[in-house]
Amino acid sequence: MVKLSVKDMDIETGGIHIAILNKKDARKLDLHSGNRVVIKKGKTEVTCILDIARSPKSVAEGQLGLFEEVIDHLHVKNNDKVNLEFTDKPKSVALIREKLFGKRLTYEELYTIADDITHDRMTDIEKTYFVTACFTKGLNNEEIVDLTRAMVETGSKINFSSLTLDKHCIGGVPGNRTTMIVIPIIAAAGFIIPKTSSRAITSPSGTADTMECLAKVELTEKEIRHVVKKTGACIVHGGSMNLAPADDKIIEVEHPLSIDAEGQLLASVMAKKYSVGATHVLIDIPMGKSTKANTWAKAKHLRKMFELIGRKLGMKVKVIITDGSQPIGFGVGPLLEALDVIAILKNDSFAPQDLKKKAITMAGMLLEMTGRYKDGFKVAKEILESGKAFKKMNEIIDTQGRLNHLKPGKFRLPVHCPKIGRVKEIDNEIIAKIARMAGAPTDKGSGLFINKKAHDLVKKGELLFTVYTESQFKIDLIKEFLKKNNGYDIH
């Protein structure tokens, strides 16, 4: 072990833990680029990949250059003293190699891998090989259950009640913000439903991004317990709670590869539910061209698997297969989706009826799962239309911490229909891409407001949708993109 002085490189890697050593120090310690080292500050430590500085201007002798992710993890600053020691590859690497050759992994082996991922002992390349191994060789049912448990056990767990409800959508549909309607309905009915949601990675908005237009979502476990105790519910960012952290790190390497192994998808969803002690879970599987379940056969297979894994984990799981062929609601992007939600909760006559009906249907199914209601749809509809759900949502927002200072993007681009006809279909991926080009989800007021849906009759010059953004430059980029494809198939 050697003691070195921290040099803050003031650079982010995007997640990889990097440390830089002066070439003379590296030679003395017989360390090389790509070696794995452990850096310690007190009782806190982090495993890093080593790079070598050839010039003392970058990192001088006696210094250790640290990127922002390492600085934040260790809570250190310039000139702080840290200890550095060499470490070998973790046992997980050998286990991943065995999985690549088709070995079925035990719970203990999957726990080892999840623990090494959670504590950043593995490089992105090693994590990628794990994802690849699971994708090419598959996970059997026992491995899926064991991976789910391992991801939960290597993070935090939080339990609220012997009857805890939850819901999840596997994604792929812009504007599908049912969670923010279902949660207050269920809570207003007197049930516990703590919702930990994700931020967008490849979509224009995640539930956490949309909720953040209305309330704080980065809460501590203590704060979340307080919110749920007071209101019966919460809608927060799960990443702030260390729930199944290995899952989040696996997702980070999945997306650049566009790989979503079925076993990991199942384990990912169920780990988040298992970690909050959910007893009754409703899963939404949208089916459409650009969704993960793009055929009935795939959707029904996923339904069967979710229900099977749920039983093995002691959870009551019900799956609803929904229409994922086009965007749902009017808004696409954090604030525009939040406005849809509030319009529905306030019973505004101009609120999107497709999103309202889907949310009521899902809330009704959850209510029926508890065994206390026979006609859940009727009960959910009454709670929503009576204003009880809106009152509950305001209670949740105020308890989490109200935020309401946002406006839609000031630059707007109306997109008109080029010809007369009927909207045959809308490409979810194109709509999502336009919204992201506009700045969503980073710029919360950016995105699209959709005026025409599939099967609508349209006249030449009619408004299809409006783009909102914070930049004229982005408007110009989108104009060029729209020359190739606006996402609408009109006949």
Where exactly are the structural domains of the chain?
2-86, 91-153, 165-241+253-400, 411-490
Torsions phi, psi for 39 (to 5 deg): -110, 130
Residue 20, token pair as written in the block: 């830089």
Helix (H, G, I), strand (E, B) or coil at 324: coil
Tell me the pLDDT of the chain (491 aa) as tens digits: 899 999 999 998 877 789 999 999 999 999 999 899 999 999 999 999 999 999 999 999 999 999 999 999 999 999 999 999 999 889 999 999 999 999 999 999 999 999 999 988 888 889 999 999 999 999 999 999 999 999 999 998 999 988 999 999 998 899 999 999 999 999 999 999 999 988 887 789 999 999 999 999 999 989 999 999 999 999 999 877 788 889 888 887 887 776 778 898 899 999 999 999 999 999 999 999 888 899 999 999 999 999 999 999 999 999 999 999 999 999 999 999 999 999 999 999 999 999 999 999 999 999 999 999 999 999 999 999 999 999 999 999 999 999 977 899 999 999 999 999 999 999 999 999 999 999 999 999 999 999 999 999 999 999 999 999 999 999 999 999 999 999 999 99
Strand order in the sheet with 331-332: 331-332, 447-450, 463-469, 411-416
Q: Domain 411-490 has what CATH class?
A: alpha beta
Catalytic (active site) residue 260: yes
Tokens in use for 390? Answer: 């809106």
Query: Strand 447-450 vs strand 463-469: parallel, antiparallel, or unpaired?
Result: antiparallel
Residue 390: CB atoms within 10 A of its CB come to 20
Report whether 34 contacts 50 (CB < 8 A). yes
Which CATH code of 2.40.40.20, 3.40.50.300, 1.10.3720.10, 2.40.160.20 fits the domain covering 2-86? 2.40.40.20
Q: What is the pLDDT of residue 89?
A: 86
Catalytic residue among 8, 124, 260, 354: 260
Give the CATH fold of the 165-241+253-400 domain: Pyrimidine Nucleoside Phosphorylase; Chain A, domain 2 (3.40.1030)
> What is the predicted pLDDT for the residue at 258?
67
Q: What tokens were used for 212?
A: 């953040």
Whether the model pTM is above 0.85: yes
| DSSP assignment string, 341-369 | HHHHHTT-TTS-HHHHHHHHHHHHHHHHH
Distance CA 289, CA 301 (A): 17
Pick the CATH number of 91-153 from 3.30.1360.200, 1.20.970.10, 2.60.120.10, 3.20.20.70: 1.20.970.10
